[in-house]
Amino acid sequence: MNLNSKIYVAGHRGLVGSAILRTLVTRGYTNIVYRTSGELDLRKREDVLRFFEAEKVDYVFLAAAKVGGIAANNDYPADFIRDNLLIQTNVIDAAFQCQVRKLLFLGSTCIYPKFAPQPIKEEYLLSGVLEPTNEPYAIAKIAGISMCQSYNRQYGTRFIAAMPTNMYGPNDNFDLKSSHVLPALIRKFHEAKESRSPQVEVWGTGTPRREFLHSDDLAEACLYLMEHYEDNEIINIGVGKDIAIRELAELIKELVGYEGDIVFNASIPDGTPRKLVDVTKINQLGWKAGISLEEGLRAVYSSFYQGDPIKL
């Protein structure tokens, strides 16, 4: 990408999209386009096509998606499969129709089989049953990956697909009904400290292990892949280390300065037992994550508590 290439960041207000936008601006890219969902509903095919025809985009970072935690996926399965299928289908096809030079589609490591061997290699996709709590979302994302690969084979497009691990960072979702585990824990412990609550409930048994990647690291990886990766196969983005939810809760408790007890609610589903990705492929390509979990958590909590912008 040249600094004056026209770049479209789909989903620029979200956790991932906002990080990509910040990174592009920091790097000196000056011709970036984006739209809010109110300005452009990516679920509407004709509107998306008109946008691409008018803007004549060179590169696309497709970070727009309907995302959420276990509760949201469980409560709104139809919304997750419908909205994601519509968004990605419309953007990918419009990118082809309007001859976009290259597109990066973001999948997710949560769409790998529930009991995939650890660490998860790229070739494990579709090798086993999916995690039931997010199956509709996973099916939609797998369809997006297949769509990119199919367009490449049939039309010679340059559409690549990456698989980021669990994300956290600025612009995260702290809504307890729809957020992922890390921001939910930050909010729970902060509010418990403020209200002097004697205990904090953590969903599940605390035994599942998760890997967490700061969104600024993901943004750096996305730009790196746009410039260096041309393979038709997916590629993992992660840190190569994981942590038990119980350990994460203790870490956040200490960071927040909460002095009460942690109670695990085993009646809530744990989800996938472990989710650690194999990052050999992207590491060999020349990229590695640089932000430690402790460093990232401090910055995220500072922003949540004080409302300050996060800078790493």
For every residue of 217-265, DSSP letters joined together read: HHHHHHHHHHHH---SS-EEES-S--EEHHHHHHHHHHHHT--SEEEEE
Q: 185 by DSSP, 3-state: which? A: helix
Q: Is 16 annotated as a binding residue?
A: yes
Q: Would the annotation count 169 as a binding residue? A: no
The answer to whether the annotation marks 188 as part of a ligand binding site is yes
107 labelled ligand-binding: yes
- N-terminal to C-terminal alpha carbon distance within the chain: 24
Annotated binding residue 49: no
Is 287 annotated as a binding-site member?
A: no
Do the beta carbons of residue 115 and residue 103 sit within 8 Å?
Answer: no
Is 261 a known ligand-binding residue?
A: no
CA distance 57 to 59: 6
Q: Which residues are catalytic?
A: 137
Do residues 68 and 112 make contact, with C-beta atoms less than 8 angstroms apart? no
User: Binding residue per annotation — 290?
Assistant: no
SS (H, E, C) 29-83: CCCEECCCCCCCCCCCHHHHHHHHHHHCCCEEEECCCCCCCHHHHHHCHHHHHHH
Residue 106 marked ligand-binding: yes
Annotated binding residue 15? yes
67 appears as a binding residue in the annotation: no
243 CB-near residues (< 8 Å, 6+ apart): 209, 210, 211, 212, 251, 293
Please check whether residue 79 is in contact with residue 29, taking contact to mean a CB–CB distance below 8 angstroms. no
141 assigned binding-site residue: yes
The β-bridge partners of 162 are 106, 235
Q: Determine if residue 207 is labeled as part of a ligand binding site.
A: no
Would you list which residues are annotated within the binding site? 11-17, 106-109, 141, 180, 188, 203, 210, 270
Q: Which amino acids are annotated as binding site for NADP(+), given as ranges?
A: 11-17, 106-109, 141, 180
Residues placed in the known binding site for substrate? 188, 203, 210, 270
